[in-house]
Amino acid sequence: MFPFFLRNSHHDYSIQRVKFGIPLVDVCSVHNDLPSLLLMMILKLNKEAPHKKDIFRAPGNQANMRKLIQFLQNGRLVNLEQFSVHTIASVLKKFLRKLPNGIFGQQNERLLFDVIGAPTESEEKYLEIQRIIFSLPIVTQHLLVLLFGTFRLIVDSRQSSMTSESLSISVAPSFFHSCIPDGNKFAKLEDVQRFKIASSIMKFIIDNFGIYNLFGQENYGYYSRMTGKIINVEENWTFTFRYPPKNLVPSEACRSIENRWLNDECRKWNLPEFQIDTQRIDENAAAATTLVEDDVDYKGSPHRCRFLKTKTDH
């Protein structure tokens, strides 16, 4: 699986060391992108973690964790099939915990804490978090979009037994170092409060991945290219339908097919059936036609419904 990916990638991936305890930009300095070993670990999690119970919560094998970390730091070829996804997830959490000042950095951590605690509308929170993400180095944005895309797949899978809240609690200390006690045996009250806020930030981003344009078009495109997942995300839009040229498939026939597919998905998720409102579709958009959010009259979980399209594999 992964050798095929590396052969067909546009990146020149050599075996680059994944050093723990140094800034991410230094880890990624050779190609100005994620090292191949780190990327392969995340891709394996993206593919297999949604089907594993208690991923990122259950610990990995300690001996295998030490072995995998040694492979990473020495830049040696490794067969990831020999390691369980729980071990890989635990190593990834340790890598994040070792990043100096955390993946967001001290200043951005404070900003995120202020944003999530402010009595503002959700849309303002989206915009401020998006601004913080865009201010980070490109390699950090790439790592974040891969991680949160994987987290979203995990919480949307019944097999994982992980909700966005439980997953956020499990991974928050790896992302926000300020909520970890400073060498004290017992956590102080302020540490517990900061941990709760950090978990809320993680939950907010996981819940809104793929719904709003939180990470930006370029980062979503990177996620799609690396994982092979189809993901259509536009701010304030729910589904994006792309029609073939009319000389190949008439638009009416295409809409009939879309209706049939959507209703099959609705039945699968126990949602009411609906019809595409053809009066609201812009026939002048030849390359891509988008359905406005309020054209879809659905009940149940809007998050689940909105993410259906993004979970499709090639």
Please indicate, yes or no, whether residues 157 and 200 belong to a single structural domain of this protein: yes
Please indicate, yes or no, whether residues 172 and 79 belong to a single structural domain of this protein: yes
Is residue 232 in some structural domain?
no
Please indicate, yes or no, whether residues 178 and 34 belong to a single structural domain of this protein: yes
Q: Taking the model in full, what pTM does it have?
A: 0.71
| The pLDDT of residue 30 | 82
| The pLDDT of residue 269 | 67
Picking from 188, 205, 227, the residue at the C-terminal end of a domain is 227
| Helix%, strand%, coil% for the chain, nearest 5 | 60, 5, 40
Number of independent structural domains in the chain: 2
Please indicate, yes or no, whether residues 269 and 290 belong to a single structural domain of this protein: yes
Q: For 267-290, write each residue's pLDDT tens digit.
A: 766 677 665 554 444 443 333 333
Is residue 47 in some structural domain?
yes
Please indicate, yes or no, whether residues 94 and 151 belong to a single structural domain of this protein: yes
| The pLDDT of residue 268 | 67
Q: How far is CA 61 from the centre of its chain?
A: 25
- Say which residues have a Cβ less than 8 Å from residue 26's Cβ, sequence separation at least 6: 19
Q: Kindly report the CA angle at 206 between 203 and 212, in degrees rounded to 5? A: 120
Helix (H, G, I), strand (E, B) or coil at 242: coil
Please indicate, yes or no, whether residues 284 and 208 belong to a single structural domain of this protein: no
Picking from 196, 227, 258, the residue at the C-terminal end of a domain is 227
What parts of the chain have a pLDDT lower than 70? 1-14, 181-187, 231-258, 261, 265, 268-270, 273-314
Q: For 58-77, write each residue's pLDDT tens digit.
A: 999 999 999 999 999 998 88
Please indicate, yes or no, whether residues 187 and 75 belong to a single structural domain of this protein: yes
Please indicate, yes or no, whether residues 105 and 216 belong to a single structural domain of this protein: yes
Please indicate, yes or no, whether residues 220 and 241 belong to a single structural domain of this protein: no
Separation between Cα atoms, residue 296 and residue 187, nearest integer Å: 47
| The pLDDT of residue 15 | 73
Q: Which one, of 182, 202, 213, 211, lies nearest residue 113 by Cα?
A: 202
Please indicate, yes or no, whether residues 101 and 28 belong to a single structural domain of this protein: yes
- The CATH number covering residue 101 comes to 1.10.555.10
Is residue 192 in some structural domain?
yes
Please indicate, yes or no, whether residues 206 and 306 belong to a single structural domain of this protein: no
Separation between Cα atoms, residue 63 and residue 78, nearest integer Å: 15
Half-sphere exposure of 75 (CA within 13 A, CB side): 10
Instruction: Decide: 120 and 12 in contact? Cβ < 8 Å.
Output: no
- The whole domain housing 298 covers 237-311
- Say which residues have a Cβ less than 8 Å from residue 34's Cβ, sequence separation at least 6: 28, 42, 139, 142, 143, 146
CA-CA-CA-CA torsion sign (21, 23, 28, 33): positive
Beta bridge partners, 313, equal: 229
Picking from 178, 200, 227, the residue at the C-terminal end of a domain is 227
Please indicate, yes or no, whether residues 60 and 182 belong to a single structural domain of this protein: yes
The one-character DSSP state at 237 is E
Is residue 295 in some structural domain?
yes
| The pLDDT of residue 240 | 36
